[in-house]
Structure 1
Amino acid sequence: MRVFFTGGSGKAGKWAIQHLQAQGHHVMNVDRVPSGSDCPELLIDLCDAGQVIGAMSQFIESAELGKGTGVPTYDAVVHFAAIPRVMIGTDGECFRQNTITTYNVIEAAVKLGISKVIFASSETTYAVCFADGEVKPDFVPIDETHPTVPHDSYAMSKVCNEMTAKSFQARTGADIYGLRINNVIEPNEYAEMFPAFVKDPALRRRNIFAYIDARDLGHIVDCCLKTDGLGYEVFNVSNDDMSVGITSNEVIERFYQGVEVRGKMSEHETFYSNKKAKEMVGFAPKHSWRDVLKR
């Protein structure tokens, strides 16, 4: 597939692009800064609607000129570009950029007749991550039916983006899928970070004791590219196990007293349910920090 990918210079995006290229997709990275990877790139301001639709409707590279049949269309758009969290700049600027870029990208895609859009939402929509003080989930494991009423501007922007996407889908009939991505972990970060999480599980409370391997994140993007006809859907994105060494029962006892537990959980099962993604798009995460630390 010919894929227009925004934010491919970021932590999550670069791994997703690597995976998509390995599956044979032809990817264009669209970002404000170069990625340094082996991928054609356009450097634009996604807050500028004119630049977005212009970038989405032009040649990727000189090799496409040889056919003499005009600009080929994109088969899909993947939108990962964003200010990645609060406390980088001002709250208002985080909200402004994240919402306007998402509007611009989806609007350009549907106006150009691109029928598949995948966009990055976030675990933060469930209000736990950047809350002032401690906010506990309404129930665990958290699935996509959990309320999304966040307290911070980053998560607010993601909830707004989900409604923007849902509205565009209702208007156009395109397939638009949102990925509520948990804390992205690169392979080298397991040895660097996870011993501390094993020692002190409380460090992972704000991430709902979950994580997503950057390589498995690329895998779910590919799964969504290959799955048609779902209309508008959102999916939690996480690995199968928790990011701490204690058992699920110990997590419940120490951190989720009084929280409804829906169903029996296995010993190390994630509290950030990925069952919907498995059932609907064939998501099958393969990586675990436990394998790395054993080695």
Structure 2
Amino acid sequence: MRIFFTGGSGKAGHHVAPYLASQGHQVTNADLTPLGHPEVTDLRVDLTDAGQVYSAMAGTPTSADLQGPDAVVPHGSAYDAVVHFAAIPSAFIAPDATTFATNIVAHYNVLEAATRLGIRKVVFASSETTYGICFAQGERKPLYVPVDEEHPVVPEDSYAMSKVAGEVVARSFQARTGADVYGLRINNVIEPHEYAEKFPAFLADPSLRRRNLFAYIDTRDLGQMTLRAVQTDGLGFQLFNVANADTSVAATSREVIDAFYDGVEVRRELGRDETFYSIDKARDLLGYAPQHSWRDVLEDPRRPR
């Protein structure tokens, strides 16, 4: 497939875009900063400029595409799918109004261009922050655990607001076009080198992970999830939690519930180390099967050798 990938130079994107290319797809990275990966084509695009977005998606992906019987694309787009990861990626990076405006305008432009140009698959990055816990003012507990995609989304910060608004925009474009539009509510993104750097503190003090629902997503498993979303057709509009199968702490699930979720409804029995950020839907509809864990790198101090 030819994939128009936005934000391929970001923390998540610079792992996921090359992974998609390694699986045989032609990937164009639309970003203000080049990725510089030999298997990914860089295209400088300001996604808040609707004209640039249309022109980029309607253009010829690479010089190699000038050759052969499919060289001319008189109408529509040469791309088969869009993966939209580009955004100001968190609160506290830019002023609140800038974060909201940048994220939602770019998101709208990408969805409008993709659907009007006839692209039938859009996968976009939403966020764990939509549930209103990550950047809440003070203590905020989920209404129930494990948190699934039906949990209410009532955020207080501009970043999460932009993601909730983006989901509404995506649902609307899907409704009027019938394209497949899948949103990935991505948990705290962890690169492999960060296990040794960050996780010892998490294992010593699980409270550090409260705002992330004690969950995380390895960039390699995020790549797998994105690939499965791109390759799975016919689901219309969908939202998927994206996390690894286990928690990011050494405390057991029962210990976390007792210490942090007193009074919170527990809707089903959880495994000893099972994530509180439910990935059941992604498993059921996409065949998502996370392969990585911090336990592959660090010794779990709570488990016998």
TM range (shorter): over 0.9
Task: Answer with 28-37 or 6-15: which moved more.
Answer: 28-37
Q: Supply the distance in 2 between the matched residues of 1:5 and 1:17 (Cα, whole angstroms).
A: 7
Matched, 1:25 2:25: yes
Q: How does 1:1-295 map to 2 (within 5 A)?
A: 1-38=1-38, 39-67=40-68, 69-71=71-73, 73-294=78-299
Give per-residue Cα distances to partners, 1:120-152, cap 9 Å, x unaligned: 000000000001111100000100000001000
Unaligned ranges ≥5, structure 1: none
CA distance in 2, matches of 1:41, 1:165: 25
Deviation at 1:82, TM superposition (A): 0.1
**CA distance, structure 1, for counterparts of residue 123 and residue 215 of structure 2:** 22
Q: Deviations over 1:229-269 (max 9, x none)?
A: 00000000000000000100000011000000011111000
The Cα of 1:36 is off from its aligned counterpart by: 2.5
Provide, for residues 76-111 of structure 1, a one-character-per-residue CA deviation record: whole Å limited to 9, x for no partner: 000000000111110000000100001000100000
CA deviation profile, 1:213-236 (whole Å, cap 9, x unmatched): 000001011001111000000000
In structure 2, list runs of 5 or more residues that go unmatched. 301-305
Quote how far apart the aligned CAs of 1:294 are.
3.4
CA contact (8 A) 2:61 2:78 kept: no
* Structure 1 counterpart of 2:303: none
CA displacement at 1:19 relative to structure 2: 1.4
Give the letter for the 2:54 counterpart. I
Moved over 3 A (4+): none
1:156-202, Cα deviation, whole Å (9 max, x unpaired): 00000000000000000000000000000000000111000000100
- Matching residue's letter, 1:126: Y
1-side partners of 2:63 and 2:22: how far apart? 22
Quick one: which amino acid aligns to residue 15 of structure 1? H
Deviation at 1:14, TM superposition (A): 1.0
Equivalent residue of 2:90, what SS?
coil
What percent of counterpart residues are identical? 61
In structure 2, C-alpha distance between the alignment counterparts of 1:37 and 1:262, rounded to whole Å: 44
- Supply the distance in 2 between the matched residues of 1:19 and 1:63 (Cα, whole angstroms): 21
Q: Deviations 1:25-57 (Å, cap 9, x if unpaired)?
A: 110000011112221111111000000000001
TM-score by length of 2: 0.95
Query: What is the Cα-based RMSD across aligned positions, in Å?
Result: 1.0
* Structure 1 length-normalised TM: 0.98
